[in-house]
Amino acid sequence: MRVGSGTGASPRVLYLSFYFPPSRASGVFRARATANHLAAAGWDVTVHTAPRAFFEHYLKAADPALEATVDPRVRIKRLPLTMYPFEQDVRRFSAMRRNFPKVTQDLWEILQNRTFAEPYVGWVPRIVRSALAQHARRRFDLVIATGNPFVSFAAARLLGRLLHVPYVVDYRDAWTFNQFSGELRFPEGDRMLRWEEKVLRDAAEIVFVNDGMRQWHRDRYPFAADRMTVVPNGWEPELLGQPAFRPPDEGRPLRFGYLGTITEWLPLETLFAGWRLARTHPAMAGAQLDLHGHLGFFPDNAPPIMARIRPEEQYGVVARGGFGKTEVAGLYADSDVLVFCVPGAKYVTSGKVFEYMATGKPIASVHEPDIAAAEVLDGYPLWFHEPRFDADSVAQTFIAAAEAARKADRPSFEAALAHAARFTREATLEPFERRLRALAEAKR
């Protein structure tokens, strides 16, 4: 029997996802897919997210086309956010901030130091107020929070206690350690480490995107190890469509494509050094490397990243800029080889790798060899990589992928798609949904 309360028969979930469409942040795709999957499985889904103006005006990082792909059954509430740490336009300052800037700054720092050290902390009172009002009308059976930001985890814990319902936390990223370097982000004993311990102690389930992340947290918080699970990212057939087998035209230089946000963490120097070496090989003659994606997550990230790219333009490297989700299938179709370039760490998977595999095209890996994404790519028949990560190895990877693109055949293409089919969002989320349903039922 379906769980739930009130007049409906469906289980009811409150999903705390600060970044949600129309945001184009990388974690949005996991959040969108989770909400859609739960709605399709019969859940009554309410999402609490940030105000639209935060994505459109402050981050300038919105994709209206992506918003249109959210299941219409998902109820979305865009709750107000304290814009103090993000507002730079003096004309928008409050009277308090204009007249007493030092006092305002001191008060804000006190708030963070005594509660939660994230600039989004002002979102929590709105979440709690809204959730309590909705729960009074018809109770929630479960709360799920996805981070970052991790203030949503603290809010989930608070709501779990106030509403007497289980809560689940989903780590899209690491909270208290740097997933690229593996180092703690806070000193031992810091308030944020204590917050993480409290959140994990009470959570009904703790979800990670890969096993490396789970193992790090198991080692640090063994008391919660039996509640830690992995829900890998995946890809959406409804967004990518069915790719066609289309080998590159003979006589035309190959097109290599990178799709994704281009951040300061990417190993661009090694990527470009390997590219320059590879481009001297006959298979790479005249080859072009198209970088599709926004430069960083915030507007001020772009200039320094572009400064690293511009010298490579003479070698066929082109920054193509951002793209909408509806354009993705076409960009993949126009690429002959896909370049999987991510920061090196065993805690990094990336969401794009799943889409890459769903194209059936050669994938050239440009990253440290032991990252978590290697577990996903293992078995993909058109994956090209080397056991070392340096310019020479990257060059060999590019050359091998180029030769495979020139020799493309249908059996390899179909084998690649068969491997990718294991990682559709439906395949990765279905076991998670069953566990969530059991949690909701057990509490009733």
> Using an 8 Å Cβ cutoff, are 90 and 63 in contact?
no
Residue 45 DSSP SS3: strand
Which band of pLDDT confidence, cut at 50, 70 and 90, is reported for residue 84? low
Q: Are 60 and 33 in contact (CB under 8 A)?
A: no
Task: Say whether 340 sits in a helix, a strand or coil.
Answer: strand
Residue 361's SS3 state is coil
Q: Nearest CA to 361 among 303, 407, 430?
A: 407
Give domain 12-81+120-234+425-443's CATH number out of 3.90.1150.10, 3.40.50.2000, 3.40.50.720, 3.40.600.10.
3.40.50.2000
pLDDT at residue 108 above 80? no
pLDDT at 113 over 80: no
Question: Contact, 170 vs 38, CB < 8 A?
Answer: no
pLDDT tens per residue across span 270-295: 999 999 999 999 999 999 999 999 89
* Stretch among 70-74, 89-93, 320-324, 339-343 having the lowest mean pLDDT: 89-93
CATH homologous superfamily, domain 237-423: Glycogen Phosphorylase B; (3.40.50.2000)
Mean pLDDT (whole number) for 317-324: 91
Q: Is the pLDDT of residue 1 over 50?
A: no
Q: How remote is the C-alpha of 351 from its chain's centroid? A: 6
Secondary structure E strands in 84-238: 142-147, 167-171, 205-208, 228-230
Sheet containing 317-321: order of strands: 317-321, 288-292, 255-259, 337-341, 363-366, 383-384
pLDDT at position 324 is 78
What proportion of the chain, given as a percentage, has pLDDT over 90?
71
Q: 3-class SS at 65?
A: helix
Residue with tokens 């249109």: 68
Q: Of all residues in the chain, what percent carry a pLDDT higher than 70?
A: 97
pLDDT of residue 154: 96
Give the confidence band of 423 by pLDDT, cuts at 50, 70, 90.
very high
How much is the average pLDDT of 366-373?
89
Q: Please provide the average confidence, as pLDDT, over all residues in the chain.
A: 91
Chain-centre distance for alpha carbon 104? 33
Dig out the tokens for 410 from the structure. 């249908």
pLDDT-derived band at 61, boundaries 50, 70, 90: confident
The whole-number pLDDT of residue 319 equals: 96
Q: Are 59 and 302 in contact (CB under 8 A)?
A: no
Environment class of residue 184 by beta-carbon count within 10 Å: exposed (0-12), middle (13-18) or buried (19+)? middle
List, by residue range, all CATH 3.40.50.2000 domains of the chain: 12-81+120-234+425-443, 237-423
Kindly indicate the confidence band of residue 3, based on its pLDDT and cuts at 50, 70 and 90.
very low
**Secondary structure (DSSP) of 93-140:** --HHHHH-HHHHHHHHHHHHHHT-SSTTGGGHHHHHHHHHHHHHHS--
Question: How far, in Å, CA of 289 to CA of 339, rounded?
Answer: 9
- Beta-bridge partner residues of 147: 171
What's the confidence (pLDDT) of residue 285?
Answer: 95
| Cα atoms found within 13 Å of the Cα of residue 137, Cβ hemisphere only | 5
The answer to whether 262 and 305 have CB atoms below 8 angstroms apart is yes
pLDDT of residue 179: 86
| Nearest partner of 219 among 200, 205, 199, judged by Cα | 200
Segment 173-183 shows an average pLDDT of 89
What average pLDDT score do residues 20-49 get? Answer: 94
Peptide bond into 22 cis (omega under 30): yes
Instruction: Return the pLDDT at 87.
Output: 67
127 Cβ neighbours under 8 A, 6+ residues apart:
16, 48, 79, 152, 155, 159
Order across the sheet with 75-78: list the strands.
75-78, 44-49, 12-16, 142-147, 167-171, 205-208, 228-230
Lowest mean pLDDT among 157-171, 230-244, 270-284, 404-418: 230-244
Q: What is the pLDDT of residue 408?
A: 95
> Is residue 6 pLDDT above 50, yes or no?
no
In angstroms, the CA 301 to CA 282 distance is 36
Rounded CA separation 424/166 (Å): 27
